[in-house]
Structure 1
Amino acid sequence: MTIQTPDMPIRDAATMILLRRDAGGGAVLMGMRGASAVFMPSKYVFPGGAVDAADATAPMAHGLTEPHRSRLLCDPRDDACADPHAIAAAALRELAEETGLLIGSDTGPLCGWPGYADTGLRPDASGLQYVFRAITPPGRPRRFDARFFLADAATICGDPDDFGRACDELSHLHWVPLSDARALDLPFITEVVLAEIAELAGAVPYHAPLPQADTVPFFDNRGAAPRFSQIA
């Protein structure tokens, strides 16, 4: 679905933040976009991309849990509200395409996505936390209404360092220590999200489950003036 604006339509998008924790601290998976990319060239980003129409009916072993599903429905649009299933499916699909990493289960209907079809796994969104939302400001070559999901790297099926199935959209895929990530060439919103993740991860010992955030920060650039709010 899209929102029509004077300059560019705004497309739904999903971003996946994988957090790896050990006694040495936390690290997130990032890659660099190509220098010729229309949107955010040469920037380090998390895996993610636009929601495709087919994501709405993509088979999954398990969907989003609460409160994350309900929070995706907290801001209905004039024409329609966000589809939690489609957005969560897009996050898992983009993760598989751009990194080759899978978060799945061996139960449920089969999925034809690359990686999942090969292994017989079914995408599983039950371990995803909805942690951030941002809409690209006007005047950019692409505009997205991006929802950011956080998942513990322990939910990855297989070797978290094996990017052999990744496409070539992101280069230099690697786990970046949270303490070093903000030194990379990052989009502004990625810097903000990293600060949120570092605070969340630092709230508990590395061997404890990740805590649930109380609210979802939202940078809303749909109107003439930017607006910041919290989705409860």
Structure 2
Amino acid sequence: MTTDKTAIRDAATVIVVRDPAENPRILMGQRGSKAAFMPNKFVFPGGAVDIGDYEIPLAAPLAAECQNRLLDDLRPETPEGALTALATAAIRELWEETGLVLGAKGTWSGTPPEDWTGYAATGHVPSGSDMRFVFRAITPPGRPRRFDARFFLINADQLSGDLDDFSRASDELSHLQWVGLKDARSHDLPFITEVVLAEIEGLLPDLAAPASVPFFKNDDEAGWFKRLHGRAPTEADLGG
């Protein structure tokens, strides 16, 4: 079966802010020159939701406010259990691309899947309690890849281990670094990343969830901004 690479895929991105009150810095890396999506651009860690992400339970769920806003204006084809899968994908991508651990201390109830083996060996299980949903964007039509990306914000204090040790990172992102928020725009950034950075500045220094979540929505006819205010989740939304 041929996969339609232009179909919209769910994706999760992690914005990690270090020292938000005194010297805010953002964790970023550079995509490879041969990448099909946004080559050479400096981006936050993140990527598409995998099928396996629907099978990984969270030690603690996302805050109810975040869950409600993630459910606002869902695409009709979004699978059941998407809330947990998005949070899980964000944690997995952060681990794979940076080697940094977001989660709670704990042991897995069974043998972890192959792509979670290294993470599980650190003595952690994924947890959504410290993540805040702050932005959403759908890639415009006509691009080689299209994603419905949800951006999650965390304080670097919630990560485990040495924040400057990227030795366990894969090679998906190069030049991993903590970029000063005021200096980030000097890098080669995607347009949407610049928009997100402006939103994050408005959440300093507390990094609290915004009053409503900006959504840059693109379809085949037009692109526009709207605000996500939320709806209550059902059991199916949570994968029950």
Q: TM-score by structure 1 length?
A: 0.90
Encode CA deviations 1:4-56: one digit per residue, 9 max, x unaligned: 8xx92000000000000166420000000001111100000000000001101
Encode CA deviations 1:130-188: one digit per residue, 9 max, x unaligned: 00000000110100000000000000011111111100000000000001001110000
Is residue 73 from structure 1 mapped to residue 71 from structure 2 by the alignment?
Answer: yes
Q: Is the 8 A contact 2:58 2:125 kept in 1?
A: yes
In the other structure, the counterpart of 1:156 is: 159
In the other structure, the counterpart of 2:84 is: 85
Q: Is the 8 A contact 2:106 2:123 kept in 1?
A: no
Which whole-Å CA distance do the structure 2 matches of 1:118 and 1:64 have between them?
23
Please state how far the C-alpha of 1:124 moved relative to its aligned partner.
Answer: 1.4
Return structure 1 stretches of 4+ with deviation > 6 angstroms. none
Q: Which runs of 5+ in 2 are unaligned?
A: 230-240
Q: Which amino acid aligns with 1:94?
A: E
Which whole-Å CA distance do the structure 2 matches of 1:23 and 1:119 have between them?
29
Aligned mate of 1:39, from 20, 37, 40:
37
Which whole-Å CA distance do the structure 2 matches of 1:77 and 1:24 have between them?
39
Q: 100-109 or 84-93: which moved more?
A: 100-109
Which whole-Å CA distance do the structure 2 matches of 1:141 and 1:80 have between them?
21
Aligned mate of 2:136, from 120, 133, 136:
133
Which whole-Å CA distance do the structure 1 matches of 2:77 and 2:49 have between them?
17
Which whole-Å CA distance do the structure 2 matches of 1:132 and 1:188 have between them?
14
Which whole-Å CA distance do the structure 2 matches of 1:126 and 1:26 have between them?
22
Q: 1:143-222 alignment to 2 at 5 Å?
A: 143-201=146-204, 204=205, 209-222=206-219
Is residue 102 from structure 1 mapped to residue 101 from structure 2 by the alignment?
Answer: yes
Which whole-Å CA distance do the structure 2 matches of 1:22 and 1:187 have between them?
23
Q: Is the 8 A contact 2:108 2:125 kept in 1?
A: yes
2:6 is paired with a residue whose SS is coil
1:176 is paired with a residue whose SS is strand
In structure 2, do the counterparts of structure 1 residues 12 and 63 end up closer, same or farther at CA, with 3 Å as the change threshold?
A: same
The structure with higher relative contact order (CA 8 Å, sep 6+) is 2
Which whole-Å CA distance do the structure 2 matches of 1:197 and 1:55 have between them?
27
2:101 is paired with a residue whose SS is coil
CA RMSD in angstroms, aligned pairs only: 1.7
Which whole-Å CA distance do the structure 2 matches of 1:81 and 1:54 have between them?
13
Which whole-Å CA distance do the structure 1 matches of 2:90 and 2:191 have between them?
20
In the other structure, the counterpart of 1:118 is: 121
Q: Is the 8 A contact 1:96 1:114 kept in 2?
A: no
Identity over aligned residues, as a percent? 54
Please state how far the C-alpha of 1:210 moved relative to its aligned partner.
Answer: 2.5
In structure 2, do the counterparts of structure 1 residues 136 and 22 end up closer, same or farther at CA, with 3 Å as the change threshold?
A: closer
Which whole-Å CA distance do the structure 1 matches of 2:189 and 2:77 have between them?
33
Please state how far the C-alpha of 1:227 moved relative to its aligned partner.
Answer: 1.9
Q: Is the 8 A contact 1:100 1:115 kept in 2?
A: no
In structure 2, do the counterparts of structure 1 residues 80 and 170 end up closer, same or farther at CA, with 3 Å as the change threshold?
A: closer
